[in-house]
Structures are given as structure tokens and as C-alpha cells.
Structure 1
Amino acid sequence: MEQRGETQDMTPSREDTGRRPIVAAIAVVIQGGRVLLVRRANPPDAGRWGFPGGKIEAGETIEQAAVRELFEETAIRAEARHVFTAVDAFDRSGTGALRRHFVLVAVLCDWLSGVPAAGDDALEARWFNLDALDDADLALSLDVAMVARQAAAIVMRAP
């Protein structure tokens, strides 16, 4: 970036490297009172149920990333409707030290076709009744139930 004949170094300092949040898109698909979730294979939250999603690639919109990640992780084809919320996800070491901070941008998506099949970094992919998200035995990532309910409320209000 040039300003008044000088160039500004945009290279992150040593302190910034790996310390800035990573932006990722998550696809939230609600259909018939059910939500599509995947059991994560990788940190953060490996082994827990969450929304299909991943890092946004350079030149890709949030909506494109959500739809791409959804298909890669579940074989579900969908159309992005709109961004409706964002949540934080922290990847911490066994001692609690922050390794990575993700900002997960939630995109409401309309199911077009497909049957859930785990792929990419998902161990499992399946539909859950919204009521099942209250089950204490279901290992959900933080904020999954809240985000699913926000999406369901949007879907219910739609004409």
C-alpha cells in the first residue's frame, strides 16, 4: 500500500504471526425441523458435532466458501441465502494456551440435493432434530445449539 510516496510493509510482525483470528465460513442448513451437522475430525473441537465449514480461500466470498465446504464435508448441494451471525472458536493446547482463534461466519443455506455422507475433515454427517440439540450426551461445539436456533427462527419467518 502506497501513501505519499512511501511504501508500508504489510508483512506481519513476529508477534502477529499466528496470533490474528482466522476467518472461516460455516454452512447452516435447516430442513423440516432438522439441522445438518458434522462430527469434526480436526481441531478445534475434534470429535464434537458442529456445522460444516472451513477457511475462506483468497478471492472466495463467504457464501461461496460455505457452499463449497458444505459439499466437501457432506456431499450436500445447497444455495447460500445470507450471512446471519458470527461466533468465535478457540483452539487451545492441553495447558490452555491459545493456538488459534477462528471467527466463524454463519451462512444460512437452502438444501438443494444430496444425502449426508462424511467427507474431507468430517468423521460423520447427519441430520439432527432441533430438539435433540438439548441432549446433554450430544457432544456439540460451543454455540451450535444457539446458532441452529437462530437459523431455524429465520427459516420459520420466511414466506
Structure 2
Amino acid sequence: MSQTVPQIPKLAVLAVCLHEGKFLLVQRRNPPDAGLWGFPGGHVELGESLVEAAARELHEETGVTATAGEVIGHVELIDRDGAEVMHHFLLVAVACAYKSGVPLADDDAMAAAWVSAADMADLSLSDHVMDVAQQALKRT
């Protein structure tokens, strides 16, 4: 007898690191946002808190160490092909206070850089990046 695995949204974090007026962004290597710039982040592992996941993903993708703190907000992404849901992500944006490190692309990032909110307009961004950046700036 085959068992069907329920299709549920995937929980992921965005590590929002703002340091000296610039955000740490990565250029994604893998779909669905390959080639686009966004906040470092990824899946929350079983037994891992949002804060732990944000700090881990930030370090894995950029080599930067930060202290993850409060939740800034969330973004829900649903990718459909007609009536079929291809991907459903709940992305939780977590503020991360920079501690150390020079950004170097690693893991699933092609590039990593500190970018001002004004300079983000010159980049090809994932859909949610500007909204999350504005939410983060309101909290400073």
C-alpha cells in the first residue's frame, strides 16, 4: 500500500543583516530565483529555531557571522502552474546583527555583497527584497 505524503508549505528564513547602512545580499545560484539578488536564507531544519536557522544560513552562504534576533516580518511565495502548486514557501525575515567576516559567496550563492537600499534599484532582485529591506529600515 502506497502512502501519500501531504503537501504542505515549506518554512524558510531570510537573514536580514544591515551593517553600516548596507544590507548583505547574495546572488542566487539555484532556482526558483537563480541569478536574482536576495537575502541569504534557506530551509529551517527539524528541531532548529528561526534564529538558529538564520544565523546558520547567513554563515553558510556568505561566511559572515552574526547574531540573529527578532522577526522582522514574513513573505509567502506560491508558485503555480495553472491550478497546480509547484512551490509554496513561508519565508520569515530575521534581523541579524553583524559580528565578523568578509562576505564570500558559498553554498548556493554565486556572489555576496553589501548593498545600500538605494543601490538595490540597480540589481535584479527577488520579488520580496525591497519590501523586507523597507521593513528592516523602519526598525532602525
Q: Specify if TM > 0.5.
A: yes
Task: For residue 44 of structure 1, report the CA deviation from its aligned partner.
Answer: 2.0
Larger Rg: 1
Per-residue CA shift, 1:29-85, capped at 9, x if unaligned? 111211110011112211110110110011100000000000000000000121120
Match of residue 146 from structure 1: 131
SS in 2 for 1:43: coil
> Which residues in structure 2 correspond to 1:102-117 (within 5 Å)?
102-117=89-104
SS in 2 for 1:102: strand
Aligned residues: 138
TM-score by length of 2: 0.90
Match of residue 27 from structure 1: 15
Change (3 A) 1:118 1:91: farther
Name the % identity.
46
Instruction: Detail structure 1 runs of 4+ shifted over 4 Å in the superposition.
Output: none
For the Cα contact (< 8 Å) 1:44–1:89, is it kept in 2?
Answer: no
Per-residue CA shift, 1:87-145, capped at 9, x if unaligned? 0223456x79531111100000000000100011111111111111233xx21001101
TM-score by length of 1: 0.80
Structure 1 residue runs without a partner (length 5+): 1-12
RMSD: 1.8
